[in-house]
Chain A
């Protein structure tokens, strides 16, 4: 069942047209990886889906309903949460306060502060520490935990491995795998192709604001993705949405 759909979305970033006519579908329980070079429009697309950004054309649909004009906080309450690029924790709040804040979204569900600490045990001793004084990996874990506290149906992740030590990235992806096992629907933006292909069901590649390659991860070779990533052979869409 299609949980999230994006139809013909155009989005500007300042004076630049960052997203051009993008259409995507995400089925419940699926993990879709969005790859592409810097400036390809991935973050803008994610922010548009999350409601932090207004598209200049097109629609965003959730469970079949048009949510394009819905503000971000309403989308969170509906079940779409974004872990933004660069973590964006509230540095003046403690870890626990960052987590607790997200619980205000008022959605019931399995995720509580304790559940987050179980998934990310290294955060527990840090619960009263101000978020500004955490390491990169700890911050990323907190940011993901914060998003989880909203008990989302769709989790959007923007470059969660950026700026992290390899060990920390391992940890993050291990928790992602457990999320996926629980059936969470995930749309993640990832620069690391290997990781993206290993964790995702489907992959889409963006170049200059457009989707130039899309298909099942298992059927896709690295070479195909690299070609699309760098625009070496333009726009062969492989295997389209169901």
Chain B
């Protein structure tokens, strides 16, 4: 088994997960919302792009339309649904995003049917072209583009939050929306902006998904748990989401390879390996936290 190749593929896969997860991390970090519709929103973005590509528009160009439209949709989603849900209680968004998820995927099914769709034809050779780095390692060009975009998106979000005035306002509102209002921050606008960003990144992820593999109206569901895993592994920070995505990606690709080589029962597969790594990371964090409380890892080990 070529470990290096698998790890590299995992890192590249992680780039995709990071983009998908970034919107989730944003919504949870800023508004404490667990958005059960996130995967479906990504697929919605993909189908929007599909409408354009079916009319001959290049998929990369379609992003120029899809991203702003989804962002605007995000603002409306906040003002129309999330705001009221949040005001009513911390758990109410679970209900409204659940409803949204079901409505989106089934309306998409109604309109587009169950056929598998993709952007392969629109991106042409990019779908399979790659660099042969060594005899055993092949790196897909599309995957690299996705990873670079992920770094760009997450880096951009990080810069936005830490260096811009609006980003500062968002961080303050995330911590204490009441006091943020009292220093002149329009918390409604901040939340709407956060939702807009979340939906735009989700749509971007959806389009990338469609470049890497086929999708159908119900594909959002499968993606959702991976996105959540990436966010939680990463500790719910922005850069953490990139790390989390990469860790998950590596776990999954290595897991898949282990199955192919017979080291792992095939039911587990890459997804299962990812789940196990997820639980191990969580357990590790708990243990680390408990040790810290007792004076730090060194102290505890010194005593033992």
A contact set with B: CB distance below 8 Å:
50-52, 71-73, 76-77, 81-82, 84, 88, 90-93, 97, 100-102, 104-106, 146-147, 149-150
Contacts and interface: CB of A to CB of B under 8 A. Distances in A.
B136 interface: no
B183 A146 contact: yes
Interface of B: 165, 168-169, 171-172, 175-176, 178-187
Given A92-B171, A101-B168, A101-B169, A82 B182 contact: yes
A52 B171 CA distance: 19
A93 B167 CA distance: 11
A147 B175 contact: no
18 contacts: A50-B182, A73-B181, A73-B186, A73-B187, A76-B183, A76-B184, A82-B182, A88-B179, A90-B175, A91-B175, A92-B175, A93-B171, A100-B168, A101-B185, A102-B183, A102-B184, A105-B183, A149-B183
B181 A71 contact: yes
Contacts of B183: 76, 81, 101-102, 105, 146-147, 149-150
Nearest to A132: B175
A53 to B, nearest CB: 10
A150 B184 contact: yes
B172 A90 contact: yes
Nearest to B189: A73
B176 to A, nearest CB: 6
Nearest to A90: B172
Interface of B is mostly: helix
Nearest to A80: B182
Contacts of B172: 90, 93, 101
B181 A104 contact: no
Given A90-B172, A92-B171, A93-B168, A105 B184 contact: yes
Given A97-B168, A106-B184, A146-B183, 8 more contacts: A50-B182, A52-B182, A73-B185, A76-B182, A92-B171, A92-B175, A101-B185, A105-B183
B161 to A, nearest CB: 10
A77 B185 CA distance: 10
A21 B171 CA distance: 37
Contacts of B165: 100-101, 104
A76 B184 CA distance: 5
Nearest to A76: B184
A25 B179 CA distance: 25
**A-B pairs, 6 with minimum CB distance:** A105-B184, A76-B184, A72-B181, A88-B179, A102-B183, A90-B172
B85 to A, nearest CB: 19
A72, A77, A88, A97, most chain B CB atoms within 10 A: A72
A72 B171 CA distance: 18
A102 B181 CA distance: 10
A106 B169 CA distance: 13
Nearest to B166: A104
Contacts of A84: 179, 182
Contacts of B186: 71, 73
A81 B181 contact: no
B178 A52 contact: yes
Contact of A81 (B171, B180, B182, B187): B182
A51 B181 contact: yes
B54 to A, nearest CB: 44
Contacts of B179: 84, 88, 90
A187 B185 CA distance: 22
A146 B165 CA distance: 15
